[in-house]
Chain A
Amino acid sequence: MSLPAFRVLQPRTVDEACRMLAEHGAEAMVIAGGTDVIPNLQMKLFAPHVLVDIKLLRELSQIEFSPRGGLRIGATASLTHVLETPWLAEEFPVLSSAVATIAGPLQRNMGTIGGNLCLETRCRWYNQSYFWRQSLGGCLKKEGDVCHVAPGGKFCWAAWSGDSAPAFLALEAEIEIASVSGARRVPLRDFYKNDGKDRISLTRNELLTSVHVPARMAGRRGVYHKLRVRDSIDYPLAGVAVAMEVDASGICRDARVALSAVNPAPLLVRGAGEMLVGQKWSRELAERVAHAAIQTGKPLTTSASTPIYRRDIVRVFTRRALEEVWKNGQASS
């Protein structure tokens, strides 16, 4: 498939990138690793006149931790860089286990953490060639006014398909966004809109520059479980992230459970923390939290697997992840 015509601008500083985005606004798109943007451009999902290539912004490629500032990962840090930062796997296991599942090693060498947090939502009716889409007259998200997932509905259900976002949600991350009018910091949970068509709170003249995790999250136990067609490479069909603080007597002191790929946004499971805090491990408690998870996860026929199976696997993964994390990595069922 061919690419549309565009110009490529390569800013050397964040300020310069922001000026470029301010100037070209709606006609511009940001590109870093290219693993999401280029296939989407080939499918004619977007037709920007300008690509702002931020790959060379070295100031955004750092991964650092300080006891006061916590963890900061720059937007252009590659996913491989995240995985190969050894202390990160020890201090933030939920994050490294999630990033390890993103695509395959070649894509992780190119793809960036910022790109994964801004990933385009996916749907079987949307991520297709222009020719394919035209044969159906398009869909609600693109070129049409009918949703083939929920006919009659006026809401786009394209699924959030990033793996790092649920891990960052479980770690109460914040992101920093830059534009010509200055920088703003927002909790990651407020960044996602749960609308497949309009997925994130980021205007065309803004740039996501970094993601931050509070220092108190360091050392928190965690894991991410992911369902996909091919275990070596695919996007998630369902994903569950758990981050938890457990004290010496085995009592949960703080916990968050987040889901991916079963809603138009990565979402924290409502009520999971309240159910878990102050409790000791029990299978019955894990089942109750797993039940809460399937009340938050609302998969529809947006992907290769059925909603019933994906919903059930959310329940199973939630229970397994809790057991694994609580019992500190020992056997799960």
Chain B
Amino acid sequence: MPNSSPADHEPIPDVRNQVDLQIGLVGDAQVGKTSLMVKYVQNIFDEEYTQTLGVNFLKRKVKLHSTDIVFSLMDLGGQKEFINMLPIAAVGSSVIVFLFDLTRPETLNSIKDWYRQVKGLNDIAIPILVGTKYDLLINLSAEYQEQISTAAIDYANVMDAPLIFCSTAESINVQKIFKIALAKIFNLTLVVPEIRDIGDPLLLYKELGNNIQKVKQSKSPQRLS
């Protein structure tokens, strides 16, 4: 969870507060966890696939007046042999981003198990469900797009997680993931408009992920739209 501490003394007399936020990224192999992280932090997108051999770790500092917000992104390799390192990414994270590949429905299916495991390790983290490779989804049939979108909305409702379809390659909704994360952590009001049209890169967050405790109480979540 966020903790603030005064930064080290610098020549400049300003005293800066620093807020550290850890965000974990989990999901099946090759869904684009590392790509998303690198895109957000370094604004680089590489077409080449590089397997993550463990947990990738990146930081990005965002300055706001006298406060620095440092995002520490922990990206767990999607292969099974790294899942024993899940606590590194999950424990201590304020937000867990669950990623699936929009063009591979099986990756959405396995979100269930990711969710179970992550929740078992850290039940106070705010989940965010992210569908990746939206730029490839638009090449698929309308029926499939509708099916995967509807299914993803169902998942998001069950998880009480904001749902975002993003494309790292085309810079779609990448920044917004972390804005939403910040908004949910500090209970801020984000004014970015939602995107609710099936076929568009969905951005649903206003009614989701507002209260973790509500998830436990609600028994029959209802589908959006």
Say if A and B assemble together: no
